[in-house]
Amino acid sequence: MLNLREPDKTSSNKSKGKAVDSTEHPNGGGDVDAADKHEDKEDAASIDEENAVKPLNLAMSSKAKKAFGMHRAQPTAKKGNDPSNYEDRFPEDPIYEETAPNARVWMTHQAESAIHDANKVEEIRDNVDVLLVFAGLFSAVVTTFVVQTSQSLQADYALVSASLLFELVLVQRAIANGSPVDTIPVSPLNPQTIFAPAATDVWVNGLWFTSLFLSLTTALVAVLVKQWLHHHVVLPSGTPRERCFVRQYRYLGFQKWRVKVIVGVLPVLMHLALALFFIGLSLFLHPLRAALSWVVWTGTVLLIVAYVIVTILPMHFPQCPYRTPLCDLAYPLYITVMSLVRKNYLRLCQLLQQFPLFNLAYIPYIYVMSLVQKNYLRLRQLLQQCPLFNLASTHYTHAMSLVQKRYHRLRRRWRNNLKKLDSMNDIRAKPNSLKRLELEAVEKVSL
């Protein structure tokens, strides 16, 4: 945009030029004056246009600086600072040195791989940190229960002492009464008695110790995974090409040794530990209070069923957002099983028919269907006696009568239209559909 003072200078220069031209061309002064007048008009029009556009530009610049009455932040990315523009970030390579140790391609690869590795490592670290916190809290809770129930696996010497003391009291009473001591029953508990824990105590402690073992194993593997991630990200010093080679070597090892699979198994171990704890808790509560035990059993079964359903749903419906760590691990197995089932569907049905349970479930279905077919008329008469059935049937018959009337009316109208078109010779062949009829009619009208 020109400055407003510039047209004045040009106009003054032109006026001077006019004088010079008039002096140099005395005979052609009329033509020069006409041309000068035309140029003056153009200059005045350009000045008016600039004066009209200038307030608009000022308003636009003020709007760009402010948003909702507040100053807009200036862009920080300038030329040469765009992180995605590697041509400005890194210097250009000399000719025939595009793959040198310090070439731009290695710097670009290093920058892109650093972003990729940072995102991947951050995601895995977040999952591992959550697992570490959950494993720590869960292990503390399970340890509290295990400390209490583990005592039931060994002999209770306090109970042995109480039993022997009770036997001693009975002996003293017999001596005081003059009764024979041989009539006093011997205490069933003594230090020489072989201790055998109850089956419920064995199961409860076995489940809870297994749960504690799984949670501690998860915590240990999570710590190891964090060390592996740290070793994967930290690269040794050297040229960009050497660092890229080392990073690619570690990345291939990361994929080959299935580190992500190990990370995906850790939540499964924690979920399994939690399920074992709930099962052990229900067994632990059964001798104390059966009703409370059944409540815990019901909640545990519902939780396991929901977990299995959430695991299977994404395999059938990929858009389903409900997922578990087992989805990615079990999906290849699911694909293999489903392909085998589809290929051997008939053979599988024949095998199922050989089992008595399948036949036992299929025979009542056949029996019921045969009874329905034999007594169809009688069943229909019984249903007609029901007022609800009669009401529904009357509405159904009324609706069907309306549909039939409308159908016959549309059919007559369609035939009349076809007759008119045939009589006018607009369309020689009858179309297969109403849409085709409209298209042919439009073509005839356009012609």
Three-class HEC string of 293-328:
HHHHHHHHHHHHHHHHHHHHHHHHCCCCCCCCHHHH
Structure-model confidence comparison of residues 301 and 37, the more confident one: 301
Q: Does the residue 129 lie in any domain?
A: yes
Please check whether residues 120 and 196 belong to one and the same domain.
Answer: yes
Q: Does the residue 26 lie in any domain?
A: no
What are the tokens at 38? 């035309």
State how many domains the chain has.
Answer: 2
Please check whether residues 314 and 384 belong to one and the same domain.
Answer: no
Contact 95, 234 (CB under 8 A): no
Please check whether residues 348 and 417 belong to one and the same domain.
Answer: no
Using pLDDT thresholds of 50, 70 and 90, give the confidence band for residue 17.
very low
Please check whether residues 387 and 326 belong to one and the same domain.
Answer: no
The string of pLDDT tens digits covering residues 157-185 is: 777 778 878 878 887 887 788 777 777 77
Q: Which domain holds residue 392?
A: 375-446
Please check whether residues 192 and 323 belong to one and the same domain.
Answer: yes
Q: What is the DSSP letter of 426?
A: S
Phi-psi domain of 2 (left: phi exceeds 0; alpha: psi -120 through 50; beta: other):
beta
pLDDT score of 298: 94
Q: Does the residue 49 lie in any domain?
A: no
Structure-model confidence comparison of residues 309 and 43, the more confident one: 309
Please check whether residues 124 and 256 belong to one and the same domain.
Answer: yes
Which of 204, 332, 335, 329 is closest to 267 using CA atoms? 329
Summary mean pLDDT of the chain:
75
The string of pLDDT tens digits covering residues 344-359 is: 877 777 776 676 655 5
Please check whether residues 333 and 380 belong to one and the same domain.
Answer: no
Q: Does the residue 161 lie in any domain?
A: yes
Q: What pTM did the predictor assign?
A: 0.58
| Averaged pLDDT for residues 24-28 | 43
As a whole number of angstroms, the distance between CA 209 and CA 207 comes to 6
Candidate ranges 158-162, 216-220, 430-434; pick with highest mean pLDDT: 216-220
Helix axes 29-65, 6-24, angle to 10 degrees: 170
Of all residues in the chain, the percent with pLDDT exceeding 90 is: 28
Using pLDDT thresholds of 50, 70 and 90, give the confidence band for residue 304.
very high
Q: Does the residue 87 lie in any domain?
A: no
As a whole number of angstroms, the distance between CA 36 and CA 292 comes to 108
List, in order, residues 6 or more apart from 186 with CB less than 8 Å away: 167
pLDDT greater than 50 at residue 11: no
pLDDT greater than 90 at residue 220: yes
Q: Does the residue 427 lie in any domain?
A: yes
What are the tokens at 276? 């074992």
As a whole number of angstroms, the distance between CA 142 and CA 392 comes to 60
pLDDT score of 181: 72
Q: Does the residue 13 lie in any domain?
A: no
70 bridge partner residues: 67
Residue listed under structure tokens 């004066």: 51
pLDDT greater than 60 at residue 74: no
Q: Across the chain, how many H-helices and E-strands are there? A: 15, 2
Neighbours of 96 (CB within 10 A): 7
The string of pLDDT tens digits covering residues 312-354 is: 888 888 888 888 888 888 888 888 888 887 788 777 777 766 7
Of 319, 353, 387, the residue at which a domain comes to its end is: 353
As a whole number of angstroms, the distance between CA 221 and CA 269 comes to 11
What are the tokens at 327? 């989805």
pLDDT score of 141: 95
Please check whether residues 318 and 428 belong to one and the same domain.
Answer: no
Please check whether residues 339 and 252 belong to one and the same domain.
Answer: yes
Please check whether residues 251 and 383 belong to one and the same domain.
Answer: no
Please check whether residues 396 and 330 belong to one and the same domain.
Answer: no
| Averaged pLDDT for residues 273-302 | 93
The string of pLDDT tens digits covering residues 395-429 is: 666 666 776 777 667 667 766 766 665 555 444 44
Q: Does the residue 292 lie in any domain?
A: yes
pLDDT greater than 60 at residue 27: no
Please check whether residues 347 and 380 belong to one and the same domain.
Answer: no
